[in-house]
A and B are shown apart, each in its own frame.
Chain A
């Protein structure tokens, strides 16, 4: 009996230590995950109890909801533009900073500042940069080189405007990850290549890129996941007092913005839960596919 009591006493401490975290974890994560799974099969507006409807929400979303497809296409465009652009530019910056140069920390800080600023603040600043007519800084810059002003926040340009801003805002974070990856590459490889007379480009192509593959995989997956969930920027850039989030004609409606709109502006909680699970599914597939694709290419 005594060893058992002692054992229990020791375990009591352990459960006490993880207790607070696990209560929160259960109430605000485990229960919600199952609750929204259940609600995704119901009609639920918070005021009345959920009414079971089977797969109706999913069927409606996929077969009868043009706004969902509009949001999916916008989100796909957003991901397909921001992720490659951000990765290419930030890799370039990382390689530049990783050279034997001075003021490294200053450059890192400059590129990183947008990453620590709230997306809301960044968005209101860019909204002012994008201001229409001649007062906007961007339009002024364009007109000074002879290009006619662009209606940045009009129907045609809102999504591209958000994309440009997001690429700018995400550079610093990817840069830090790439610099860490670059510093993990053993210097001897470069020395050996130098002895063989390799050019800078050959070294980058044949040493840096292949050995950076694990970092690249990580950055790609994280970038796709976070780009797919874009919301804050869309909310601010498309905000208007009368219209719903997503802008005129849903020109910049993304999938999470659509979820917010259905769940918290029209209180279709069941429908929004089904949307949430579709997002989950897409992100899960993206992660698995990415890992499988790169598994074959990482060779060492």
Chain B
């Protein structure tokens, strides 16, 4: 091949490469447009919620609807906390959710450790039972759980809200999978040093599974904060309501006062949003790892 032939090939390569680059740039621009438009579609309902919550009543019913507020007011929030005890509902949710989350961290990691590292009679069968139970849809045990809680006299109380949710098959499973990866040598060394089993759990296992605990804590917090069906079924007095329950009642009773309902939605959404943004890393990793739906 003579020198001109090679030059010609080089030229063609360069042309092909530059057209490829051109094509890639076009694709990239399209990707940005798609993602930005998509993000707007995701965000607009929340923006509309916040805007509506700060509008005075006469601006809500003006035409055309506008994202601009002429006279911003916190009247809706004031109503929310005075007409209904929203502060109390907030504390109800916060208390129940916090206790449930703490209990899950403790009980799930404890059981997960036993399943991962102990040898005891019936271990594998019990674990199989636990994993199998995750296939059972919640509707199946909803009615009997309600009847049992009623028999215990826990209807309409924090006991009923909290105790049935203090541990869970999924949490135990998650903990076990993480603890399995801890080398046995560490545990054996602690045993030789004369540690009791509980000390090993507290001093060796717990510090090593902190990322997993963080994921479990966030999942549990989010799921419980947003839990609706269980409170709907067992809570009947107005002062024991949780936030989602209060919001659904608000929607029923003050459905036409959109500013107030939207203010309620803001109060319900803000805490999970804060938790999510603060712990986003653990959350997204946790989902990718486990496929758990919050």
Judge whether B114 and A14 touch: CB under 8 Å: yes
Interface status of A48 (Cβ within 8 A of chain B): no
Within the complex, the shortest CB–CB distance from A260 to chain B, in Å, comes to 8
Which chain A residues lie closer than 8 Å to B113 at the CB level? 17
Encoded as 1 (CB less than 8 Å from any B CB) or 0, chain A from 133 to 148 comes to: 0111100100010000
Hey, which chain A residues are within 8 Å of B111, CB to CB?
17-18, 20-22
Select which of B27, B163, B272, B288 is within 8 A of A177 by beta carbon: B288
By the criterion CB–CB under 8 Å, are A113 and B139 in contact?
A: no
Residues of chain A at the chain B interface (Cβ within 8 Å): 10-11, 13-15, 17-18, 20-22, 24-25, 27-33, 35-36, 39, 46, 92-93, 96-97, 99-101, 105-129, 131, 134-137, 140, 144, 168, 171-173, 176-177, 179-180, 200, 218, 222, 225-226, 229, 231-232, 235-236, 239-241, 256, 259-260, 263-264, 269, 272-273, 275-277, 279-280, 283-284, 287
Q: How far is the CA of A218 from the CA of B290 in the complex (A)?
A: 11
Determine if B35 and A28 form an interchain contact, defined as CB atoms under 8 angstroms apart: no
Question: Are the C-beta atoms of A21 and B265 separated by less than 8 Å?
Answer: no
Q: CA of A241 to CA of B118 in the docked complex: distance in angstroms? A: 55
Residues of chain B within 8 A (CB-CB) of A117 are 46, 226, 268-269, 272-273
Q: Which residues of A contact B48 (CB under 8 A)?
A: 125, 128-129, 137
Q: Which chain B residue shows the least CB distance to A109?
A: B280
Known: A116-B272, A279-B137. A226 touches B293 (CB 8 A): yes
B120, B147, B196 pick with most chain A CB within 10 angstroms = B120
A21 touches B167 (CB 8 A): yes
Q: Which of A28, A106, A144, A222 has the most CB of B within 10 A?
A: A28
B148 CB–A CB distance under 8 Å: yes
Dominant secondary structure of chain A at its interface with chain B: helix
Residues in B whose Cβ lies below 8 Å from that of A107 = 35, 38-39
Residues in A neighbouring B269, C-beta threshold 8 A: 117-118, 121
User: What per-residue 1/0 map shows which CB atoms of B55-67 lie under 8 Å from chain A?
Assistant: 0000011011100
Q: Could you show 30 A-B contacts with beta carbons less than 8 Å apart? A: A10-B118, A10-B119, A11-B118, A17-B114, A18-B110, A20-B110, A27-B164, A31-B148, A33-B133, A39-B144, A105-B280, A112-B276, A113-B43, A113-B273, A116-B222, A117-B269, A117-B273, A120-B248, A136-B65, A140-B64, A172-B42, A176-B287, A200-B27, A229-B138, A232-B244, A241-B252, A264-B233, A273-B144, A277-B140, A279-B140
Closest 10 CB pairs of A and B: A32-B144, A180-B288, A32-B141, A118-B226, A17-B114, A35-B144, A14-B120, A110-B39, A13-B197, A21-B167
Q: Which stretch in B4-12, B80-88, B209-217, B256-264 binds the other chain? A: B256-264
A276 touches B142 (CB 8 A): yes
A222 CA / B163 CA spacing, docked (Å): 27
What's the minimum C-beta distance from B45 to chain A, rounded to whole angstroms?
5
Min distance, Cβ B217 to any Cβ of chain A, angstroms: 14
Also in contact, A96 and B34, with CB within 8 A (given A32-B148, A115-B294, A239-B251): yes
CB-nearest residue of chain A to B166: A24
CB-based contact A32/B145 at 8 Å: yes
Q: Which residues of B contact A127 (CB under 8 A)?
A: 251, 255
Q: Is the CB of A21 within 8 A of B108?
A: yes
B28 interface residue per 8 A CB criterion: yes
Q: B61 touching A29 by the CB < 8 A rule?
A: no
A219 nearest CB across to chain B (Å): 8
Q: Is the CB of B43 within 8 A of A110?
A: yes
Say how far B173's CB is from chain A's closest CB, in angstroms: 11
Tell me whether B143 and A280 are in contact (CB under 8 A): no
B68 within 8 A of A: no
Nearest-neighbor residue (CB-CB) of A240 within chain B: B252
Q: In the complex where A17-B113, A101-B32, A125-B265 touch, is A111 in contact with B294 (Cβ < 8 A)?
A: no
From residue B243, how far is it (CB to closest CB) to chain A in Å?
A: 8
A11 to chain B: which residues have CB within 8 Å? 118, 120-121
Q: Is B172 an interface position by the 8 A CB rule? A: yes
Instruction: Name the one of A21, A27, A177 contacting B148, with C-beta atoms under 8 angstroms.
Output: A27
Q: Evaluate contact between A259 and B139: CB separation under 8 angstroms.
A: yes
Which residue of the partner chain B has the closest CB to A111? B42
B42 near A113 with CB under 8 A, answer yes
